[in-house]
Amino acid sequence: MAKDTLFSTLKQNQGMLFTLLVFILLPFVVGLFNGASPAQVWLNESGHSKFIQGLAIEIFILALYALSYDLIFGFTGLLSFGHSMFFAVGAYLTGILLKSFGFSLAATFGMLFLAGIVQALLFGMVLPRVKGITFALVTLGMASVFHVLVISTELGEYTGSDVGLQGVVVPAFISPASERLRLYFVTLTILILVFLLYKRFVNSPTGRVCTAIRENEGRALMLGYNTFFFKLAALMLSSLTAALAGGLHTIYQPIVSPNVAGLGYTVTALLIILIGGVGTLNGALVGAVVFRLLDYGLRRYIGESASFINGAIYVAIVLFLPYGIVGTWKLKSMNLRQGWDRLLGMLNTASKEK
Amino acid sequence: MNVFIRKNLLRLIILIVLAGLFVAAAAGMESQDFLITLLRGLSVGSLTFLVASGFSLIFGLLDVLNLAHGTLFMIGAYIGWTVYVRSDTFMDLLTPLALILSGFLLRDVWSLLSTRLPAAGRMKRILPWAGILVSGLILFSVLRNYPIAIWDVGDYAQSPVSISYLASQGQNVQPPPATFETISPLMAFAGLIAGSLLLAFSLSLFGAGKQAEASRITWRSFTGFAAFLLAGIIFFIFNNLFTAFLAGLNTNWLFLIAVLVAVGSGAGLGALMETTLIRPLYIRPIYQLMLTLGLSAIGIEMVRAVWGRPEFTMPRPELFAGTGEGCPATSLAGWWQYHCSTMMLMDGRIRVFNEIFIPIIGVVVLVAVWILLQRSRLGMIIRAGVQDREMVEALGINVRRVFTQVFALGVGLAALGGVLAAPSIGLSNMMGESFLLNALIALAIGGLTSYPGAALGSLLVGLLQQFIIKYGQIGIAIPFTEIVFKPSPPIVPASIILLMVVVLLILPNGLLGKKE
């Protein structure tokens, strides 16, 4: 019996498992294509494989960040323009603690946890007061104040003002230069764990109430839910994830540019989940892959006019994939399935009549 | 009276605090510094208002957050610059533009043809795309030989506009700009017209079957087409004549023409954008954000492709450019006599164009749009639509057309702002973005969908910004201490954002916004 349920869960999630397998094998396969044996890849000796791993790590971090935005925007319906602050606080805090205060990695991540909670409470403070687009603008304001703090010359000793934080020394056992494969698997594991946690959260009663708040907050209030606490819970989980993503960003790239605190980086998250599909967890992952690869590919092969084609692709996605890649695909596949059912039903009745 | 005070207590307190701050700021500096800062604030506020008012009209009526508004502001500035500085390029552009547009004016013919088309099934689906492809190829092959832009994605820096500009500055440039002579004008004309006709026809095929019925074809259906065709030909034949006329024109009149052309093309662009791209998205509001962001990126890259990399400056029109005898003027009469670029006012030297002309235009636009909103039928529909769109639709008013008009109006205002800003702050690809952010903040302060709110918010944003910049130079002496606090440049954007956050936390709908 237990075996059967295990088998059926495996079968239900075969797409996910397949993707996971692809990502586990990716560094080795890329190595093989360039004539490096898996052993060499294991010892971080294949340059090309390392490069691909780096790209994948960036995608994982973007995916974490996009997941966190999808939770508050796609599932709870809170439009925030200050989301980059969550990420930037994580990135800067990790860098500063490691560099200037000599914290250990564990202590740093402990502080990240605290910072995540504090930020969520900060955004939560204005939640009861402002709604909709006004909330977006107030959060934009908070994020801009943080951006100014980061680039101000007064704190330049710690943040490196507008040059960015540089020269963070990452502990050797996870260093992106010598132990990249390990970092790759650590980021992948974190992404998987966070994804599973999010899946659990979204399907839990709490997550259902969040979806209800998105659909109609008044009605959720009428049903007796204190929507403030549910929104705060979603914000907190989202802020923790984004801070974690920021921390990983600093570990992978020992440079933190002040751009991650700006409005542009929030727009990145928004674009990713719009590409993937708002309100779908898979969408955030697919969106992150598409976004990063598009950006990288266009910049590499087209150069100057990359953002022109990028913009054209966004417009095309909006027009031709109306609910994002995953969202539109879900709708289409549902239609297909309905069509098949209908067809089979017709055939059945036809054969019975004979 | 009591009721009024009780209802608006918070609002009044904020306004009193702001007024107090203003007085304190005024007391902290010398009177001529104060006057200059005040006028600069008014100037920045007017430009912000031109962006914000259009944005707010569009957001209020259509519920579209048009994030491409800053880019359209920038495009307006570049179009104005072209007409003003490179009027020969402008004349060269008119012919192909008129010819390409001419095909779209045969709407009646196309709708009749598309209903009569016998093709069915798969043919019907392929035909429009094939038409677009073929017409695109024709237009591309003609326009490639026409000195407007180099469509070489690898190399922007050498666009013909920037080459001819550098050449006119007396610099030696290689290669010399290509001319129309590489293909015969007759071929080019035929190509442009054929491409335009085919393109218009194939685009109309997409809508075939959705239109109610084809109207009858009369001679009226051809007038627009014929007029544009004729205009294109005239512009081509008398190109040199027109160019010479524009070049010999007083720069004041040329500036007026530039403003008109920029506003007109801005409005046209807005109408085109609304009808083709925004309209399918009214049911999916969030995706408008992505669309307008994408359009903004495209717009910036298009400007780079057509105008090249360099950042331009635009000379001020003659009326504001005088130096030498009698300058700086001591009074308005003196300015009128010598057309000075600067004048002395209470011992302070101010630039007439930036600090007097722009605020005046801002006030004029404010009043004009206010009258439009309050006194005209269109304004009535807009105000009603902002309040309750469904009700207006239910009353049988063609809201679609009003949407297009409002979008065109909003973008036209942004383009006006751009062309006015060009002589004072110069042109660059990213000039629109900061104004868009300022306008957004101004609207949040004043109330997102309120027209007077847009004016008040823009004014506050402009004044606060300029006062902080001024105090960054002279420093604020903090009372009871020896410290002189000098706000650093990043604090300028942060200060207006802080003002926005404070106002929004006290009044979530802004200073003049209505409660939902």
Q: Work out the mean pLDDT of chain B and round it to a whole number.
A: 81
Q: CA angle B99-B105-B109, nearest 5°?
A: 120
> What whole-number distance in Å separates Cα of residue A342 and Cα of residue B344?
83
Return the H-helix or E-strand segment holding B349.
strand B348-351
> Under DSSP, is residue B472 helix (H, G, I), strand (E, B) or coil?
helix
pLDDT of residue B152: 40
pLDDT of residue A84: 92
Over range B349-360, report the average pLDDT.
Answer: 84
**C-alpha to C-alpha distances, A79 to A82, A269, B159, nearest whole angstrom:** 9, 12, 41
Over range A230-249, report the average pLDDT.
Answer: 93
Q: Is residue A245's pLDDT more than 90?
A: yes
Residues of chain B contacting A126 with CB distance shorter than 8 Å: 505
pLDDT of residue A201: 93
Q: Is residue A208's pLDDT more than 70?
A: yes
Q: Is residue A240's pLDDT more than 80?
A: yes
Torsion of CA B135, B136, B137, B142, to 10 degrees: 90
> Under DSSP, is residue B487 helix (H, G, I), strand (E, B) or coil?
coil
Number of neighbours of residue B16 by Cβ within 10 angstroms: 10
> What whole-number distance in Å separates Cα of residue B316 and Cα of residue B22?
32
Q: Is residue B212's pLDDT more than 70?
A: no
> What whole-number distance in Å separates Cα of residue B198 and Cα of residue B110?
10
Contact B14, B507 (CB under 8 A): yes
> What whole-number distance in Å separates Cα of residue A141 and Cα of residue B504?
10
pLDDT of residue B153: 36
pLDDT of residue B155: 44
How many beta-carbon contacts under 8 Å exist across A and B?
A: 113
Say whether the peptide bond before residue A171 is cis (omega within 30 degrees of 0).
no
pLDDT of residue A352: 62
Contact B503, A154 (CB under 8 A): no
A141–B contact, CB cutoff 8 A? yes
Return the H-helix or E-strand segment holding A312.
helix A306-320
**C-alpha to C-alpha distances, B4 to A292, B12, B269, nearest whole angstrom:** 55, 10, 44
Q: Is residue A135's pLDDT more than 90?
A: no
Q: Where are the domains of chain B?
A: 10-117+208-320+346-506
Which two tokens mark B183? 């293909």
pLDDT of residue B363: 94
Q: The tokens 């008119």 sit on which residue?
A: B94
pLDDT range class, residue B177, cuts 50, 70, 90: very low
| Facing residue for B298 by CB, picked from A126, A141, A311 | A311
| Facing residue for A141 by CB, picked from B287, B290, B501 | B501
A134–B contact, CB cutoff 8 A? yes
Q: What is the DSSP letter of B351?
A: E
> What whole-number distance in Å separates Cα of residue B516 and Cα of residue B514?
6
pLDDT range class, residue B213, cuts 50, 70, 90: low
Question: Picking from B92-101, B114-123, B294-303, B506-515, which range would have the lowest pLDDT averaged per residue?
Answer: B114-123
Torsion of CA A137, A139, A144, A146, to 10 degrees: 170
pLDDT range class, residue B165, cuts 50, 70, 90: low
C-alpha closest to that of B69 among B437, B479, B395: B437
pLDDT range class, residue B364, cuts 50, 70, 90: very high
Mark yes or no for CB contact B293/A131 under 8 Å.
no
- Alpha-carbon gap: A101 to the closest alpha carbon of chain B (Å): 27
pLDDT of residue B175: 47
Residues 117-156 of B with CB under 8 A from A: 153-156
pLDDT single digits (tens) B82-138: 888 877 777 777 888 888 888 888 877 777 777 776 656 677 777 778 888 898 888
Mark yes or no for CB contact B490/A151 under 8 Å.
yes
Query: How far out from the chain centre does Cα B119 lie?
Result: 43
Mark yes or no for CB contact A308/B301 under 8 Å.
yes
pLDDT single digits (tens) A261-295: 888 888 889 889 888 888 888 889 999 999 999 88
pLDDT of residue A232: 93
Q: The tokens 């989980």 sit on which residue?
A: A237
Residues of chain B contacting A131 with CB distance shorter than 8 Å: 508
Over range A64-78, report the average pLDDT.
Answer: 91
Nearest CA in chain A to B441: A137
Over range A104-125, report the average pLDDT.
Answer: 90
Q: What is the DSSP letter of B286?
A: H
Mark yes or no for CB contact A134/B504 under 8 Å.
yes
pLDDT range class, residue B151, cuts 50, 70, 90: very low
Domains of chain A, with CATH numbers? Answer: 11-349 (1.10.3470)
Nearest CA in chain B to A146: B494
Strands B348-351 and B342-345: antiparallel
Q: Is residue B156's pLDDT more than 50?
A: no
A261–B contact, CB cutoff 8 A? no
> What whole-number distance in Å separates Cα of residue A68 and Cα of residue A234?
9
> What whole-number distance in Å separates Cα of residue B188 and Cα of residue B255?
31
Q: Is residue A226's pLDDT more than 80?
A: yes
pLDDT of residue B154: 41
Q: Is residue B419's pLDDT more than 70?
A: yes
Q: CA angle A157-A162-A164, nearest 5°?
A: 70
Query: How far out from the chain centre does Cα B139 lie?
Result: 27
Contact B417, B47 (CB under 8 A): yes
* % of chain A residues with pLDDT over 90: 29
Mark yes or no for CB contact A314/B291 under 8 Å.
yes
> What whole-number distance in Å separates Cα of residue A132 and Cα of residue B25?
34
Over range B468-475, report the average pLDDT.
Answer: 81
A351–B contact, CB cutoff 8 A? no
> What whole-number distance in Å separates Cα of residue B82 and Cα of residue B88?
9
| Facing residue for B289 by CB, picked from A129, A144, A270 | A270
DSSP A268-305: HHHHHHHHH-TT-HHHHHHHHHHHHHHHHHHHHHTGGG
pLDDT of residue B362: 93
Q: Is residue A142's pLDDT more than 90?
A: no
Q: Is residue B502's pLDDT more than 90?
A: no
Q: Is residue B173's pLDDT more than 60?
A: no
